[in-house]
Structure 1
Amino acid sequence: MRYKAIISYDGTKYQGFQSQKNALGIQQVIEKAFRLMTQQEIKIYASGRTDKGVHAIGQVFHFDTEIDIEEKTWIRGLHKRLPLDIRIKSIKKVKDNFHARHSAKSKIYQYKLAKKPSSVFTKNYEVYIENLDIEPIKKALPLLEGTHDFLGFCQYVKDKPTIKTIYSATLKETKSHYIITFHGNSFLKYMVRSMVGTLIQIGLNRKDPNIILEIFNTKDRFLAGKTAESRGLYLVKIHY
């Protein structure tokens, strides 16, 4: 039978989600917890990879097993064997044709920009940029919406289509943060962080908001801003 799990994690200590030979990935930590709990090798399949230092509020993975137990038993058993920076939010039975990655319709990412310098307790979960002007960023965000070739906003991966659709790109202001939210059908490697890096340059008045259109037209990665740091990025939700 197949199960769907929703998890959250603090990506600070990990080299990304995917299992790696010479570094610690979140996937291998979860699979080890399954092995310790069930005495079986259970492989998990995620909605996508997150990079080193990126956090998740609602990452999704699926797994197959003949073990038939209740959700609370799965969660309790795994939490006993997982570090506190990885938490299981839910585990539900799903149809056999469900796939965490292939069944996904869209994803939501958020990037947190702090209004004041980070403290020792917040430095891994936000990015502070001095003298950031938020008004030109607000003008630039709508230019990212729609269906475009995002080759200029990513690290190119061979045979990976670069035409994507951003349904919305918005900014919300709280007392302590500017939170930029992207909702899109899918995202390329470093795409969100490249867009944010460009928005930061716009907010520092080093680039004009219309640079977004120029990057789409030329597909020139060198016109975009430096890739923003991973610690401000969160995978929020996967829509199915």
Structure 2
Amino acid sequence: MRNIAVKVSYDGSKFNGFQTQPYGRTVQDEIEKVLRKITKESTDIHASGRTDAGVHATGQVFHFFTNSSIPVERIPIALNTILPKDIVILTAVEVDERFHARHSALRKTYRYTIDTGKFPAVLGRQYRLHHPQSLNFVAMQEGLAYIVGEHDFTSYTSTRSTKAHHVRTIYEAKLESEGLFWHLTVTGNGFTYNMVRTIMGTLLWVGQGKKQPIDIKHILERCDRSLAGPTALAHGLVLAEVAYDIQI
């Protein structure tokens, strides 16, 4: 039995999330359907984590077990030949049987992009939140600094979360401008349900002057979701990278 780790990118616009759902199109279902065709096995995949409906990925990772003898370097080609155009397999490597895409992950990086132009840039707008109102970039940067470190992120987590706790460690959080496009990039050991989108929604409050930068810290400490800002729309979010102690 071989264990294969795969890096995949996808446009989440027309998916009801990554994980199999009782209804709607999902990334997992599309991949498993094609894997069953090429391996002739009933194959289940296990991802580094789920992404919600409308969220994209450039560096999602999953693994699967197979008895197939297909050379690992041929797996991306075989999958991409059949998969729909909004899913692209980037790499595949054979890994130790103990490797697990979720449990073996060391850190994840998400990126959220907003378009601050008066009118939305038409090309690529499905990957950016358009926010034409004036924002205070410096204040947003200042507020963002308070989420770095180990914290209980209950205030920035959906009330629908089923996790036992919401303690996570953020290694790096930055806001950078690329002309009219502003990119929030957050790297941590894990993320709770809607965490990055809620942080983005609260930062927008800070940028609009509805909250002060220090309020990001105060909201964090209160562990009360009702104090944080709205959950930013899904289409601006991308799972950019999942890092391991091996190269995938």
TM-score tier by shorter-chain length is over 0.9
Residue 158 of structure 2: aligned partner: 155
8 A contact 1:164–1:184 mirrored in 2: yes
Amino acid at match of 2:54: G
What count of residue pairs does the alignment treat as equivalent? 240
Matches within 5 A, 1:1-240: 1-116=2-117, 117-130=119-132, 131-156=134-159, 157-240=161-244
Distance 2:48 2:233 in 1: 22
Listed as ranges, the gaps of 5+ residues in structure 2 are: none
8 A contact 1:153–1:194 mirrored in 2: yes
Distance 2:218 2:116 in 1: 29
Distance 2:81 2:150 in 1: 44
Distance 2:189 2:97 in 1: 23
Amino acid at match of 1:174: E
After alignment, is 2-11 or 63-72 more displaced?
63-72
Q: How much identity, in percent, do the aligned residues show?
A: 38
Amino acid at match of 1:153: Y
Q: Deviation per CA, 1:166-204, whole angstroms, max 9, x where unpaired?
A: 111101211241111001110000000000000011111
Q: Secondary structure at the match of 2:75?
A: helix
- Structure-1-length-normalised TM-score: 0.96
Amino acid at match of 1:195: I
CA-CA distance at 1:123 after TM superposition: 2.4
Distance 1:38 1:186 in 2: 32
Q: Secondary structure at the match of 2:120?
A: coil
CA-CA distance at 1:40 after TM superposition: 1.8
8 A contact 2:112–2:183 mirrored in 1: yes
After alignment, is 114-123 or 25-34 more displaced?
114-123
Amino acid at match of 1:237: E
The runs of at least 4 aligned residues of structure 1 exceeding 6 Å deviation read none
Distance 2:49 2:15 in 1: 15
CA-CA distance at 1:219 after TM superposition: 1.1
Distance 1:67 1:53 in 2: 33
Q: Secondary structure at the match of 1:210?
A: helix
Amino acid at match of 2:19: Q
Q: What is the aligned-residue RMSD (CA, Å)?
A: 1.2
8 A contact 1:211–1:223 mirrored in 2: no
Distance 1:76 1:106 in 2: 28
Amino acid at match of 1:217: E
Distance 1:225 1:159 in 2: 21
Distance 2:8 2:98 in 1: 21
Q: Secondary structure at the match of 1:80?
A: helix
- Structure-2-length-normalised TM-score: 0.93
Q: Deviation per CA, 1:88-109, whole angstroms, max 9, x where unpaired?
A: 0001100000000001111000
